Chain A
């Protein structure tokens, strides 16, 4: 029967129990599981689709009819030189070349004309890059033929002209990976915005859920408000982190697998940075969302009290979105020092490579310091408001010396 010992419940166990409940009820929620499966499928599908659409690596197939087959070698070498790879495909006669072009099997087919000239059969027009390849191949063949007629050995000619190329010496060369870096930064910003907003609101509605259902009185007769608050924030934060990691891993795997992203180290760095800054940003916002939630007793009122926070998160997103185009600009440089803007701007700046370890360390410290300060304030508001049901508690009442 009843054990006479008093029941001890260490703080860590109380927090762990609350966190465990948040994790298990949220992770087992069918809507949660299903919507995340759909989101993951959309992410992977979108990346695969993008890689297919953006794929320009395959050589262009150029049909060569009869005598035009002698162009096979100059077409290949000129294609490589002009960064428009070309494969020559032998075609039996002009008629079948026309059929294949009109059927869309070949973009273009070459038929020999008179005096070293050729006719390019195409459906509508020849893209300018391909046109350049065709022109230079034909001209090279004509020049070689003319020089051969003059008794010049074609191999000697080739040897003599090998080094006659232009080498570019750019004073400010563009970063060849900048496109990928921008894309990574943009994805990071989007994910952080989405995740910070949804998890923040989850915290607020979770707090209100306990007030609305009145279960909070039962809970607070056995554990401290601070433990309930901490457990809830940890639980929802962990769910958000797992979700974000799943999105990131799936997206990265798909992007690297399809070759859409080739800067593996940068991508992994941005991913890790996004997770880390999510944790900091979430901690900052979650305690405030919890305090805002504790002021009201009905779900309909949540959007009202959380509005200032939601505006803050949207503001963070807008600043970040503007900064994606110019990560090293004034706006980004200034705002990235200010919590909680650092949370969304720093991963972006890390992705763009416009920040150093000093700023990373200092902004992390600033985030931690302000978060602790706000957590104290939020815990006070929460403790004072969470048992008050009925009308909305004003910020003044919650903070006052009541």
Chain B
């Protein structure tokens, strides 16, 4: 079965506050989708609606082409933003319980608990209560809780927050591995470098709306490009009259320009050459962080 995740035109209001407005995106099987946005942008609300913990005012969430009902939802591995497990329950018992609540049989559940605790390096803590574990290890248990029923889709809200660097590597590995196995993975994060490095596609959400979506390359290409021109003899204001060009900075013969979409970079080069020698002429695509700032500020 093809477990594509479709979020279609989902809206949610709390009284006067608009939490989500026509939120739409698709995550294909085997795709790692990074969800970024400032706090309160609507990432968590979207995920909670996908998991049925919250109901949408309009729009729908489809999984494998079918609206998400309770039975389909059991195929999702979920890591809520608000981390939570029974603090006094033993790691192994707790994971087995959650696996069974997702429809696994007893033997199947116990086998999965051993497999995932071993994979995540917490097998020796299986008989300890969760509260006895370090915060980092509790996060690993939380990830195990999302994976233990062998989900067909992963929805992870801030899976990297609070992880030590080793755990970040383990988490990244597991996500990529699940992706390679054909599982669509959605995760949100504030660590944009991590999102940029891992994600196949990224969605930038702001004020409840999807502002930009695409591969990191597409987003960067679509963003306003910057030109760096090193022309030592250029007088101040040399580029002011050029069409579609905004001077961001000029000092010591180095000029940083922003080109609006459709502006002719060759015209800029010609103008620069008219001032004298040009030692550097470089087009710089914005990083995800810069794009993010741009989108959020817009």
| A interface, CB within 8 angstroms of B | 1-4, 6-9, 14, 17, 21, 24-25, 209-210, 213-224, 387, 389
Contacts and interface: CB of A to CB of B under 8 A. Distances in A.
Contact of A213 (B78, B85, B149): B85
Interface stretch (B32-40, B69-77, B217-225, B267-275): B69-77
Given A217-B53, A222-B73, A224-B70, A7 B87 contact: no
A14 B150 contact: no
A6 to B, nearest CB: 5
Given A220-B53, A221-B76, A221-B78, A213 B97 contact: no
A216 B149 CA distance: 17
Contact of B71 (A8, A24, A387): A8
B53 A221 contact: yes
Contacts of A24: 93
Contacts of B71: 6-9
B145 A218 contact: yes
Contacts of B100: 17
B84 A213 contact: yes
Contacts of B83: 214
Most buried by A among B54, B78, B100: B100
Contact of A222 (B54, B74, B82): B74
B181 A14 contact: no
Most buried by B among A3, A210, A221, A222: A221
Nearest to B50: A221
B51 interface: yes
Contacts of B70: 222-224
Contacts of A1: 150, 181
B101 A14 contact: yes
User: Top 10 A-B pairs ranked by shortest CB distance?
Assistant: A7-B103, A214-B84, A215-B84, A214-B82, A7-B74, A221-B51, A217-B80, A9-B103, A2-B150, A222-B101
Contacts, number: 84
B103 A218 contact: no
Nearest to B89: A25
Interface of A is mostly: loop
Contacts of B75: 6-7
B1 A9 contact: no
Contacts of A210: 86
A387 B101 contact: no
Interface in B93-107: 93, 97-98, 100-104
A25 B24 CA distance: 43
B232 to A, nearest CB: 60
A218 B78 contact: yes
A7 B108 CA distance: 13
Nearest to B52: A221
A6 B63 CA distance: 12
B199 interface: no
Nearest to B87: A213
Nearest to B88: A25
A293 to B, nearest CB: 16
Nearest to B78: A221
Given A7-B75, A213-B87, A222 B150 contact: no
Contacts of B149: 7
A214 B44 CA distance: 15
Contacts of B181: 1-2
8 contacts: A4-B1, A213-B84, A214-B83, A214-B84, A215-B84, A218-B78, A218-B85, A221-B78
Contact of B80 (A2, A9, A214): A214
B194 to A, nearest CB: 24
A6 B69 CA distance: 11
B46 interface: no
A209 B88 CA distance: 10
A1 B149 CA distance: 11
Given A218-B145, A221-B73, A9 B101 contact: yes
Contacts of B97: 17, 21
A14 to B, nearest CB: 7
B54 to A, nearest CB: 8
Nearest to A4: B1
A223 B101 contact: yes
A210 B84 CA distance: 8
A213 B74 CA distance: 21
Contacts of B60: none
B53 A387 contact: yes
A377 to B, nearest CB: 21
